[in-house]
Structure 1
Amino acid sequence: MADSKALQTPTDLNRNDTKSVAEALNSALADSFALYLKTKNFHWHVSGPHFRDYHLLLDDQAAQIFAITDAVAERVRKTGNTTLRSIGDIARRQTVKDNDSDFVSAADMLAELRDDNLKLVESFRAVKEAAEAAGDNATSGVVDEWTDQAEERAWFLFEASRKG
């Protein structure tokens, strides 16, 4: 078994402080992966009169969520910590709940994903708070964009689900 100290990236940040940032980032990353897979699940299984619109919306949103995962994980590594290693690791950390239902109506899909994106916003706010407490201005700065993207996804899902 290799020495984990070999993975300690050089940083001027306090190791104890960055551990709390890494924990918050890894939690947000687990939620991002869970939300990505749920969004793809709903993309694959959406049905109804707005199928095409929702199918395309969910595919775009899934791609946006997946696109940030590497940046989140690399931010953990840049602070000298380790990140997620497996599906089991994701499952242990995620707060976004899976949905294994055989059928979910399109309206319920949009509402659930809206709420899950808002849960991800909460995760990103926890990252922001930990980063600022640790003096990690790079993480504090980059998490703002991820928060804005999740808020935008929630807004789009809300607007797409409005009646009349």
Structure 2
Amino acid sequence: MSLRAYLIVEMNKGDQNMSVDIGIEKGDREKVAEALSKALAETYAIYMKTHGYHWNVTGPQFRTLHLMFEEQYRDMWAALDELAERIRALGVYAPGSGRRMAELSQIEEGDNDVPSADVMIANLTKDHEAIATHLRDFIEVADEADDDGTEDLLIARLQFHEKTAWMLRSMQG
């Protein structure tokens, strides 16, 4: 089943118990929820990778990276809730399993082995740049639906990921 079909089925289930009248048409809410679900899944993938790197980083930059990764994963942890709650505010169920998140995300999962600190930095830089690119597309979906609330949320997430990518790039030689 496609993501769109899945969301429509889930949205229709929710509509049985709840009427959503927030000034955004149902079809537009579905499109925005689809974009938000992808943003949620990609945030989750980067969150998991960053948290794993926080636990396992070693080397001369240990303290700096350990603390930086913690700051980053804490921000993303809070963002996961904001993104999921926005999906629910649109009258759609948020994806709630690791499997579903992996299906929706274009971000590669974490490593089976523990990479070097330099590889961790390079991997996360690439991931933050990728989600920033995707967020621009998701913002456009929200804009087309005249969904200012989602636009604001996604713009804040875009700013976080662009800043994080810059900080990580600055740590590379």
- Structure 1: tracts of 5 or more residues without a match: none
Distance 1:123 1:7 in 2: 30
Give the corresponding residue for 2:5.
Answer: none
Q: Which residue is 1:75 aligned to?
A: 86
Partner in structure 1 of residue 14 of structure 2: 4
Residue in structure 1 matched with residue 63 of structure 2 by the alignment: 52
What is the TM-score of this pair, normalised by structure 2? 0.87
- Paired residue for 2:42? 31
Cα deviation for residue 38 of structure 1 reads: 0.2
- TM-score where L is the length of structure 1: 0.92
Residue identity in the other structure for 1:99: G
Aligned partners of 2:113 and 2:150: how far apart in 1? 39
Q: CA RMSD in A?
A: 1.6
Give the drift of 1:24: 0.6
How far is the alpha carbon of 1:8 from its aligned partner? 5.0
The corresponding residue for 2:10 is none
Q: Deviations over 1:61-120 (max 9, x none)?
A: 111111111111111111222211211111111111012332301111001101101111
Matching residue of 2:3: none
Counterpart code for 1:125? R
- Show CA shifts across 1:124-150 (max 9, x none): 212210001111111112211111011
Correspondent of 2:95 among 78, 81, 84 = 84
Structure 2 contact 48–110 (Cα < 8 Å) conserved = no
5+ long unaligned stretches in structure 2: 1-12
The alpha-carbon distance between structure 1 residues 42 and 17, as it changes in their structure 2 partners (threshold 3 A), is same
Given that 2:128 and 2:162 are in contact with CA atoms closer than 8 Å, whether structure 1 keeps it comes out as: yes
Residue 119 (structure 2) aligned to one of 94, 108, 111: 108
Name the structure 1 match of 2:110.
99
